[in-house]
Amino acid sequence: MSKLAIHGGQPIRDSYLSYGRQWIDEHDLEMVSKVLKGEYLTTGPYVSEFERQVAEQVGADYAVAVANGTAALHMACFAAGIEEDDEVIVSSMTFAASANCVLYQGGTPAFADIDPLTYNIDVDDLEKRITKKTKAIIPVDFTGQPVDMDGIMKIADRYGLIVIEDAAHALGSEYRGRKVGSLADMTMFSFHPVKPITTAEGGIITTSNELYYQKMSLFRTHGITRDPSLLVENEGPWHYEQHCLGYNYRLTDLQCALGISQLRRLDEFIQRRRTIVRRYNEALGRLPGVITPYEADYSNSGWHLYIIRLRLEGFMVGRKEIFEALRAENIGVNVHYIPVYLHPYYQELGYKKGTCPNAERLYEEIITLPLFPKMTDQDVEDVISAVEKVLNYYRR
Ligand SMILES: *Cc1c(COP(=O)(O)O)cnc(C)c1O
């Protein structure tokens, strides 16, 4: 039996509704089982086919699939040549992996503040944080809304910076009618189960730069190549060579078969997410004290996350109490994200509270509501009812 709602009575839902989850169908199962019965479990024909399809989907020349999105970011930082003494400007409102990848390469992340409307990296603030050491930028398409790529590319061109777009939330999103994945020097997508499509774990970089593509292909598999045109020596048909220090970051054939099957349904998934968002906006936009998400005119978001912002002065309690009350209603709310540099690890590295005031303020006021394609209309109405119930209860 579920516990009582925080202010007494039965919760809106009997069962817990998580904030995000996968949608696996029979076709997915058949594809995976076909691979399991076949010749290759890891690197095989489905890996290159999945890469080909993702590249085509986003309009890029190349894609390199790896074990997860974090590995993909690491690989992109390697290809960009990030090393000691290099600075990389990262959005502050993101998952830690967006900045950790810079540290993996010995570089230094510098955090830029967010735009208070879109919650994406603020292009003016980004420019202010450029130093002589800055080599790259990692903007994040937060919640699926693309960053202002024209603004970012203009700065990147002016200062000679490489742009690695963290599009973990944004497979299928569009910027001014162009697909995310074809806009930056390199773009990362994640296939974690809550993301737009899943391979369980998995990630990919798309690029139209052949040199980056070659570097990434090496990096994914120990830095080893068998390509006869690249070998320094060729002692015989067994010969292979390690040319740089890479990792085993390969994605399996099993997972790529699942990815291909999932990709078939990307448009359907996104349409469903957009339908749910329209209903949320309509119902929650009416509630005093609630700020629903803003979508810029250049954006056609795939809506990975739906985040409401609270005007807390209108309530008798803080975000924490409202969050807990929603959880007690069995609504799987969440908070995305704690600004990266506030984590103890980053604090110990010397990053200071107050660096990005807009991000810090946003963090205090946000709650992520459940949003995933498999949600039923009733699930959506339950979320709305619970938010109305809790906010009306606590409103001043
Ligand atoms: C999920 C996510 C990642 C990391 O992807 P994994 O596949 O989980 O390693 C990086 N950045 C952002 C913004 C994410 O949401």
Ligand 1 pocket residue status of 74, Cβ below 6 Å: no
Query: What is the percentage of the chain residues whose pLDDT exceeds 90?
Result: 95
Counting from 1 in the atom list of ligand 1, the atom nearest the Cα of 71 is: 9
Q: Tell me the β-bridge partners of 186.
A: 164
Query: Does ligand 1 have an atom closer than 6 angstroms to the CB of 190?
Result: yes
- Looking at residue 1, what is its pLDDT? 37
pLDDT at 3 over 90: no
Which residues have C-beta within 8 Å of that of residue 29, sequence separation ≥ 6?
Answer: none
Confidence label for 4 from pLDDT (cuts 50, 70 and 90): low
Q: Domain limits at 83?
A: 26-263
Q: What is the CATH number of the domain that holds 61?
A: 3.40.640.10
Does residue 139 share a domain with residue 179? yes
337 and 210 both lie in a single domain: no
Are 92 and 162 part of one and the same domain? yes
Chain segment 321-375, per-residue pLDDT in tens: 999 999 999 999 999 999 999 999 999 999 999 999 999 999 999 999 999 999 9
Single out the residue of 109, 278, 262 nearest to residue 193, CA to CA: 262
Handedness of CA 386, 388, 393, 396 (dihedral sign): positive
Domain count, the chain: 2
Residue 42 sits in the same domain as residue 187: yes
The confidence score (pLDDT) of residue 7 equals: 67
| Spacing, Cα 288 to ligand 1 middle (Å) | 33
CB-ligand 1 contact for 304 (6 Å cutoff): no
97: CA distance to ligand 1 center in Å? 6
Backbone torsion region of residue 176, taken as left when φ is above 0, otherwise alpha when ψ lies between -120 and 50, otherwise beta:
left
| pLDDT tens digit sequence for 180-208 | 999 999 999 999 999 999 999 999 999 99
Regarding the beta carbon of 198 and ligand 1, being less than 6 Å apart is answered: no
Question: Which numbered atom of ligand 1 lies nearest the CA of 191?
Answer: 7
**Is there a single domain that holds both residue 98 and residue 241?**
yes
What pLDDT band is residue 2 in, cutting at 50, 70 and 90?
Answer: very low
Peptide bond into 247 cis (omega under 30): no
SS3 306: strand
Name the nearest CA neighbour of 193 among 65, 42, 325, 374.
374
How far CA 347 is from CA of 34, 193, 344, 350, 390, in Å, comes to 48, 30, 5, 5, 35
- Statement: residue 382 has pLDDT above 50: yes
- 388 and 320 belong to one structural domain: yes
Does the CB atom of residue 94 touch ligand 1 within 6 A? yes
Q: Given ligand 1 and candidates 192, 205, 371, which is best to mutate, with the most ligand atoms within 8 Å of its CB?
A: 192
Domain co-membership, 118 together with 255: yes
Does 144 sit in the ligand 1 pocket, CB within 6 Å? Answer: no
> Measuring from atom 7 of ligand 1, which residue has the nearest CA?
69
> Residue 224: left (phi > 0), alpha (psi -120 to 50), or beta?
beta
pLDDT band at 9 (very low <50, low <70, confident <90, very high): confident
Domain boundary among 206, 240, 263: 263
Whether residue 259 sits in one domain with residue 287:
no
Distance 129 CA to ligand 1 centre (A): 24
- Going from the C-alpha of 82 to that of each of 87, 211, 265, 340, 350, the distances in angstroms are 8, 15, 36, 20, 20
In degrees, to the nearest 5, what angle opens at C-alpha 140 toward C-alphas 138 and 145?
150
Answer with the one of 233, 263, 293 that is the final residue of a domain. Answer: 263
- Report pLDDT digits (tens) over 198-239: 999 999 999 999 999 999 999 999 999 999 889 999 889 899
Say yes or no: 70 and 131 in one domain: yes
Among residues 55, 63, 15, 38, which one has the least CA distance to residue 251?
Answer: 63
Contact 172, 132 (CB under 8 A): no
Q: Looking at the structure, tell me whether residues 206 and 278 fall in a common domain.
A: no
Q: Please say which residue of 237, 263, 289 terminates a domain.
A: 263
* SS (HEC) of 243-293: CCCCCECCCCHHHHHHHHHHHCCHHHHHHHHHHHHHHHHHHHCCCCCEECC
Spacing, Cα 98 to ligand 1 middle (Å): 7
pLDDT tens for 103-143 read: 999 999 999 999 999 999 999 999 999 999 999 999 999 99
Kindly state whether residues 8 and 96 are assigned to the same domain. no
**Widest CA span in the chain:** 79
Q: Of all protein residues, whose CA lies closest to atom 15 belonging to ligand 1?
A: 168
Q: Is the CB of 193 under 6 A from ligand 1?
A: no
44 burial type by CB count under 10 A (0-12 exposed, 13-18 middle, 19+ buried)? middle
CATH number at 299 reads: 3.90.1150.10
Residue of the CA atom closest to atom 2 of ligand 1: 168
- State yes or no: pLDDT of 6 exceeds 90: no
Q: Are residues 198 and 279 in the same domain?
A: no
For residue 146 and ligand 1, the question of a CB distance below 6 A is answered with no
Ligand 1 midpoint to CA 96 (Å): 8
Distance CA 332, CA 119 (A): 22
pLDDT digits (tens, 9 = 90+) for 69-80: 999 999 999 999
